[in-house]
A and B are shown apart, each in its own frame.
Chain A
């Protein structure tokens, strides 16, 4: 790591002020940042730690929903009885993300704001598009883990596995900035495609910190399916989160197949607010995969989308699906 000065915030206000004024690099659990600093992809002069702002670590029911502080760890989420019982899609995703050790330090905010795990982006010797270069190496190179939806000019997949369930559950992301009112952004509008921005994956403006995630209303039903090559620590090849909120129509959000958590309008269209049958679930899966545009080596992900969506819907409906 390049040496850096380290600032530790004890209060959110101090962090916001410091962040707005001096633009240090923000660190929560450090899982993603320390990794990038070790790879020398990040060589900040100053790092600001949010880690000690204990007031940002909470899971609080509110009204018919729940509020989660951005420093809540994935382990906290995975262990939460409330989330496991009423927000299963999120609890399962967070509770199985990465490794048990990583989950103890990884925060919800960090998980949502982490940089992509694309193997070109993560290595200093690939001067790729996302790092200011001219080439997305995935286009002509090894792309078995890259995007089949929404890609171009860069073909990363979004690494967060908390994001798809949150999008499906119509969560709101609360963003704070010194001297400004809080900004509340629907989860599905938080992430940006490479076609609109290459140097970031979300809408956060300079000085803004994601401080809270609100799920206004617990879903009637929800589930997540993640499909992995390896069942121990591994990134999903494809995932699908589904939720039905307030008796309204189903939301379907895909993970690991697009540069953002990918909302499948096509699947939602097929589903409407209907009760799930195996036949309907399969049709929704087909619809979700329809727009897929695979590259040379990731065509298999199209099939995985179909299965993940189908099984997530069946699981949400309380039916048994292959584990």
Chain B
């Protein structure tokens, strides 16, 4: 569910106040201001317009809702959700593989839908519910999809598997009784280089058949 109060740019951080607080980002600001002073272009921090929120290049503290928790993080606009999940929130289950939306390794749930976190800016995730592979485990109990992957030995090296698991969760939420064809179509955005597909299909099919709620 949307959390309107935590949308980026609404928390009233001033650029200078922000800079004071976060020393590490000062350098980046210097680079940006040069670019911003290009002729004919207003400096971003001078823009004030009703209906426009601003996230300065140096970043802003926002709250991300990840795996049911509120996680305050300072993010720059150029940081992807993937980068922030891994580097700042320590959620390294989500993997960077192609970094261009072609492999599905970085798949997370955004308000229940599966998306590529490598192509999503972290600031855009504010106000949305993010769930990663770690967050599918509830009270130490595996999600039925995870359990099915375990039972079917649905992996080899395992690097792609968090992406497959999360995508499969979304797939089964949409098609609880997914057919073999729906499973194949639904996993077409994930790549497993070891090619454990036979096992993966079996796992998702088992979860679909066995009440995967």
What is A's interface to B at a CB cutoff of 8 Å? Answer: 1-11, 13-15, 17-18, 21-23, 30-31, 34-35, 37-38, 43, 45-49, 51-52, 75, 98-102, 104-105, 231-233
- Contact A22 B47, beta carbon cutoff 8 Å: yes
Of B31-39, B129-137, B147-155, which stretch is located at the interface?
B31-39
Contacts of B119 in A (CB 8 A): 30-31, 34-35, 102, 105
Say yes or no: A101-B107 contact (C-beta < 8 A), given A3-B77, A6-B77. Answer: yes
Q: Separation in Å of the B162 CB from the closest CB of chain A? A: 13
- Contact A10 B52, beta carbon cutoff 8 Å: yes
Query: 5 closest Cβ contacts across the A-B interface?
Result: A99-B189, A14-B51, A5-B44, A6-B77, A1-B78
- Contact B77 A233, beta carbon cutoff 8 Å: no
- Contact B115 A99, beta carbon cutoff 8 Å: no
Contacts of B57 in A (CB 8 A): 3-6
Say yes or no: A98-B189 contact (C-beta < 8 A), given A3-B57, A18-B52. Answer: yes
- Contact B102 A233, beta carbon cutoff 8 Å: yes
In the assembled complex, 16 residue pairs joining A and B whose CB atoms fall closer than 8 Å, in A order, are A2-B78, A4-B77, A5-B57, A5-B77, A8-B54, A9-B52, A10-B53, A13-B51, A30-B119, A34-B119, A45-B38, A46-B36, A99-B188, A101-B167, A105-B120, A233-B189
Q: Mark B97-121, 1 if CB is under 8 A from A, else 0.
A: 0011110100100100111100111
User: B9 near A: Cβ within 8 Å?
Assistant: yes
Known contacts A7-B52, A232-B188; 11 additional CB pairs below 8 A are: A3-B78, A4-B32, A5-B55, A18-B49, A30-B124, A45-B35, A46-B41, A101-B189, A104-B113, A105-B115, A105-B116
- Contact A101 B77, beta carbon cutoff 8 Å: no
Q: How far apart sit A68 and B50, CA to CA, in the bound complex (Å)?
A: 26
Say yes or no: A18-B28 contact (C-beta < 8 A), given A5-B57, A100-B188, A101-B116. Answer: no
What is B's interface to A at a CB cutoff of 8 Å? Answer: 7-9, 28, 31-32, 35-36, 38, 41-42, 44-45, 47, 49-58, 76-78, 80, 99-102, 104, 107, 110, 113-116, 119-121, 123-124, 167, 170-171, 185-190
Say yes or no: A30-B114 contact (C-beta < 8 A), given A6-B55, A99-B188. Answer: no
Nearest-neighbor residue (CB-CB) of A5 within chain B: B44
Q: Identify which of A8, A23, A75 contacts B53 (C-beta below 8 A).
A: A8
Contacts of B31 in A (CB 8 A): 3
Q: How far apart sit A17 and B51, CA to CA, in the bound complex (Å)?
A: 10
Q: Separation in Å of the B116 CB from the closest CB of chain A? A: 5
Q: How far apart sit A232 and B116, CA to CA, in the bound complex (Å)?
A: 16
- Contact A101 B78, beta carbon cutoff 8 Å: no
Centre residue among B49, B56, B110, B123 by max chain A CB count within 10 A: B49
Contacts of A52 in B (CB 8 A): 7
Q: How far apart sit A123 and B153, CA to CA, in the bound complex (Å)?
A: 39
- Contact A6 B121, beta carbon cutoff 8 Å: yes
Contacts of B187 in A (CB 8 A): 100
- Contact B100 A38, beta carbon cutoff 8 Å: yes
Q: Separation in Å of the B186 CB from the closest CB of chain A? A: 6
Contacts of B99 in A (CB 8 A): 38
Q: How far apart sit A11 and B9, CA to CA, in the bound complex (Å)?
A: 15
Q: Separation in Å of the B165 CB from the closest CB of chain A? A: 13
Centre residue among B77, B123, B171 by max chain A CB count within 10 A: B77
Say yes or no: A14-B50 contact (C-beta < 8 A), given A3-B78, A30-B121, A45-B35. Answer: yes
- Contact A7 B104, beta carbon cutoff 8 Å: no
